[in-house]
Every structure is written in C-alpha cells, then in structure tokens.
Structure 1
Amino acid sequence: MSKVSVLVVDDASFIRDLVKNCLRNYFPGIRIEDAVNGRKALALLSREAFDLVLCDWEMPEMSGLELLSWCREQDHLKTLPFIMVTSRGDKENVIQAIQAGVSDFVSKPFTNEQLLSKVKKAFTKAGLLDAVMASAPTRLNSAFGNDSLNALTGGKAQVVTPAAAPAPAPRPAQALTSRGQGQLRLPSGTQTCVIKALSLKEALLVVRRGEVLPQVLDSAVLDLEQGESAEVARLNGYLHAIVAYEPKPDSAWLQLTFRFVDQDAEKMNYLSRLIAHGTTQKHFVPGA
C-alpha cells in the first residue's frame, strides 16, 4: 500500500470532498488529510510529513498564498510540491504565486481529469508516481467523469434533466429582467448568465442552453463585477438544481440554482454589498 500522503486545504467542505474522492478513486492506497484554512494546514505541516499540498487561495484566517510563503521559508518544506487550486487565474495572481514558489495551478472549476493530470505531474517530478500507481485500479472510468456528481458518488447517481422539474412561465429572451449579469465558469465551459435573484447562500441564474448541458453538483465559479471600480468577486459553488426556463423540452434557456460554498468573510461582505445595492449595474466583461 502506498505511503504517499496529500494535504487538501480549502474552506469549502464541498471542494475538499470533491478533491479527496477524486484522489481516492484513482489512488486507493493514498493517505489524505484536510484543513479548512491555511492556519490549520500550517499546524498539520508543522507536525506531520506530506508529499503534496493541494491548496485554495482565498480562505479565512490564513490564505493559500500566505501558507505557500511560510512553507518556502521552512528548510524541510522548500521543495514540497504545492499546487494552488484556485479561481484566481489573472496574470498578476499567477506571477505572485510563481514568485512565492508555487509548483503548479489547477483552475476552478476543474474536471477530475484536469486535477489528476496535475497531481500525477507533481508525483512524477517528486519520483513518487510508481509508488502511488502501484495501488491504482485497472479501470478508471469513475475517476475521469467530467462532472462533480461522479466524483462524489462513484458514478452511480442518476442525472437529473432540466425538463424533470416544473418550470416557470415562458418569457422571450429579450424580456429577461435581472439584478445584473455575470460569468459562470463550469467544467464544460464558460458562459454569460443573467442573475435573477441573489442571497448570501445562493444565486438564481438563467443561461442560454448549449450543446453540453450542465449537471447537478457540477462545481463552478461565478464571477461578478460591480460599480465603476470594476470590482470582481470570484464565488465558488456548485449547481444545486437545474430546470428548463420555458415549459418545453427544447427550451432555449435554463434556470440554475447556484449554491455558494465559500466561507471567506471578504467574499461574504462583497455579497452583502451587492445584495444591498440591488444590481451589478453593468454587463460583466470577460477576462476583466
């Protein structure tokens, strides 16, 4: 059995479970510990040895970047493989993490295949791949599912189709009214969304139906922009429910319930201001 150990750090329990289940499906003998923020992770790293860290960036008490900087200041952790699992993909953030000594990035939302690719790359560089692959299963279908539901259930759950639940009354596309617009990043791609309602727990979104339908429990990132300062919040979450926006099987629009999983106080404060303001004011600019 492999003695290779991994530390998963994220303030969202849904993301931690997603990562742990993906790794355990592919590497059954691997040892995995988790922490809810950088400070808890620091305590674990101070008393236990790990072969790889998979860490979120934005967390309460201590961020992933702060944890990374601390690791590189410790003699025994200077070369520890450290992969940032984050929705921060801006050039300036990437440069900042590289300067701090990050080993690699996994962008949220991610597929199981994308995550495993980066983990295997890190193990290869560290000379650990043979050890962890010795316990890998011969069939890898469940580990390579493109949706978060497969990672959590081993591919045994049924997919809920958009037409399976009651839908609101139809409206023509040009009649859609909203509190604002944003950008929804899913494992299958990125698309503009209309924000129909917003609370501290979830957002009700409307998106145009594409060739690939989103799946219940897909992990996702909702990018919101507000005001003249173009302040952007990257909110991590998952799709809790999907229905057709029009009561017909060929509905051109889908209504998504997006549940937030972040526990970061700064993001919650941003959401509170956004809700109080009542609108995002202007169209989200992709890549801003």
Structure 2
Amino acid sequence: MSKVRVLVIDDANFIRDLVKKALRDHLPGVQIEEAINGRKAQQLLNRQPVELILCDWEMPEMSGLELLTWCRGQDSLKTTPFIMVTSRGDKENVVQAIQAGVSDFIGKPFSNEQLITKVKKALHRSGVLQNLEPRTPPKMLSSGSFANDSLSALTAGKTESAAPPSAAPTQARESVAPPIPKKTAAGYGQGQLRLADSSTACVIKALSLKEALLVVKRTESLPQVLASAVLDLEQGDNAEVARLNGYLHAVAAFEPKPDSEWLQLTLRFVDSDAQKLDYLSRMIARGSPQKHFIPGA
C-alpha cells in the first residue's frame, strides 16, 4: 500500500495537534508532516512531495496565500490539493485564494467531521483515497457529539471528555447581541465569538496577550472547554475585523447561581502572529478595542 502524505501548516501548535489527531483517528495509514509557517513548509516541499496540503492563511514569515501562489508555480505541486484553513470568510479573501488556485476551504473553528469530509473529498479527487484503510468513526457520546479530540490531543488520548469539537463559522447561527450586564460596563467593549454551531455577541471583561475573559448570554447549548473558537473584533470607520483564534480554557457561571443567565468564558489565544500581538498590546494599553487595528492582521 502506497503512502499518503499530508502536510499540516499552522503557526498554532494547538490547531496542528487537533488536525493531526483527527487525521490519524479517521484515516489510518496517513503519513503526516507539519510546519509552523509557509517558509518552513516551502523547505519541506522542496525535499519531498505530498498528496495533500492543509494550510492556515495568517502566519508569520510566509502566509498561506503566498505559499499557495508559490506551490502553483512549481511543476510538482501544480495539481496537489491545497485546502486553506482560515477564519477569513470575506468575499475578497475567498476570491484571492480561488484565483491563486486553492482547492477548498475549511473555516475556523471547524469540527472533525467537517475536516475529514473535506480531506476525503480532496484525496478522492486526486485518486489516492483508496490507498488508506477504512475505519469505523469514533464512538458517539450519548449527547450525539464526538468525544473531545482537543482534550485527547493534549493528553495523548489518556483522558476523555464530553466536550464537542468546533464547527465552521460559515455555518454558524448568528445571534442577536445581548444587553451588556452591568458588572462588565468597565470592560474592553464587545465582540463576536464564533463557536461550534453558533455565533454570539460577547462582552470583553478582561484582556491579556494570552487570553480574554468574555461574558456571553447563556443558551440551550453550553460552550465546551477546549473547543476551538474565533473572537471577532470590529473597529475603525471601515469596519475592519480582527480575528483572534483560540480555544475555551474555562467556562463558568457569571452569577453565583445554577441558572445563571450569563456565562463567563476564558478564551486562550493560539495566534503567534506579530501583528496580532501588537494589536492586543495596544488594546490593553488603551483599554479599548476601537483603535490601532492593522487591517489584514
């Protein structure tokens, strides 16, 4: 049986771990390579070909779009399936990637099911899917969700949790912005938090370079610890959006009662992009997310 090599490129270790574990769980026999940015991926691709590339868009040194453009200029990579994994869903960005020769998109945050569906589709089109052994999907939990692959990735599969994976933001249900609880009036403003199957307005109560403390309106579906998420912050006259990738580190009731109407979430950031870190620094210094955003960061 010939090898099927997949290259996973993302500057966030957490995201790479999620993708690698999902691939190994659902596609036994796949050989996985990884790189922290486009430049490192370029070096690896110069040494050996792969059957599929899964690449983040926003990375230091060389972005996913730059790597895609370079790949399509190489004879050995012109037809290699290239799936862009990104929190960018703007029409302009999509058009750019299509013009550069992208094969498909996966939106952050994503579920294992969405990831594997896209990967199988790409490998089927290139005629190498049959080289992988079929495998029964992971056991479903009583709630109907998959076991939390985020936790398994972090604990080498030694711990199980009922937390569901996250899903693509393009499929998210938009929610009406909730009123701001009085206790958070002195926070950093409002944003939009994209989770598994929903998108909800949130209040930024506290902020650091590593994490954000958010307050959201409670819904029927509770957010789960270790689910990946994207925090969207809109600022400026041109309504530029800063997209901060992360995962839920903690979920708690905002009020000291079991039926609390509000939830307090701790979102740990996984981005290492210098522009985003600079943007966060300026937000923290000013106490407001309304200025100093660098478009495209």
Please list every run of 5 or more consecutive structure 1 residues that lacks an aligned counterpart in the other structure: 161-171, 283-288
Instruction: Please state if 1:140 is matched with 2:138.
Output: yes
> Which residue in the other structure is 2:256 paired with?
247
Preserved CA contact (<8 Å) 2:205 2:214: yes
Which range moves more in the overlay, 61-70 or 207-216? 207-216
Which range moves more in the overlay, 43-52 or 137-146? 137-146
> Which residue in the other structure is 2:222 paired with?
213
TM-score (norm 1): 0.88
Distance 1:226 1:148, change over 3 A: farther
Residue by residue over 1:179-228, the C-alpha shift from the partner in whole angstroms, topping out at 9 and shown as x without a partner, is 10001111221111100011111100001111111111000111112233
2:181 to 138, 156, 173: 173
Identity between Structure 1 and Structure 2 (%): 65
For the residues of structure 2 that align with 1:95 and 1:245, how far apart are their CA atoms? 41
> Which residue in the other structure is 1:26 paired with?
26
Cα RMSD, aligned residues only: 2.1
For the residues of structure 1 that align with 2:44 and 2:140, how far apart are their CA atoms? 30
For the residues of structure 2 that align with 1:231 and 1:146, how far apart are their CA atoms? 36
Distance 1:239 1:142, change over 3 A: same
Using CA pairs under 8 Å that are at least 6 residues apart, name the structure with larger relative contact order, 1 or 2.
Answer: 1
> Which residue in the other structure is 2:177 paired with?
none
1:104-253 pair list within 5 angstroms: 104-132=104-132, 134=133, 136-141=134-139, 145=146, 147-149=148-150, 152=153, 154=157, 156-159=159-162, 173-177=181-185, 178-253=187-262
Distance 1:264 1:76, change over 3 A: same
TM-score (norm 2): 0.85
After TM superposition, give the deviation of residue 275 of structure 1 in Å.
1.6
SS in 2 for 1:77: coil
Please list every run of 5 or more consecutive structure 2 residues that lacks an aligned counterpart in the other structure: 164-179, 292-297
After TM superposition, give the deviation of residue 267 of structure 1 in Å.
1.0
Preserved CA contact (<8 Å) 1:227 1:280: no
Structure (1/2) with the larger helix percentage: 1
Preserved CA contact (<8 Å) 1:179 1:280: yes
Distance 1:190 1:50, change over 3 A: same
For the residues of structure 1 that align with 2:138 and 2:28, how far apart are their CA atoms? 12
Q: How many residues align?
A: 269
For the residues of structure 2 that align with 1:190 and 1:2, how far apart are their CA atoms? 42
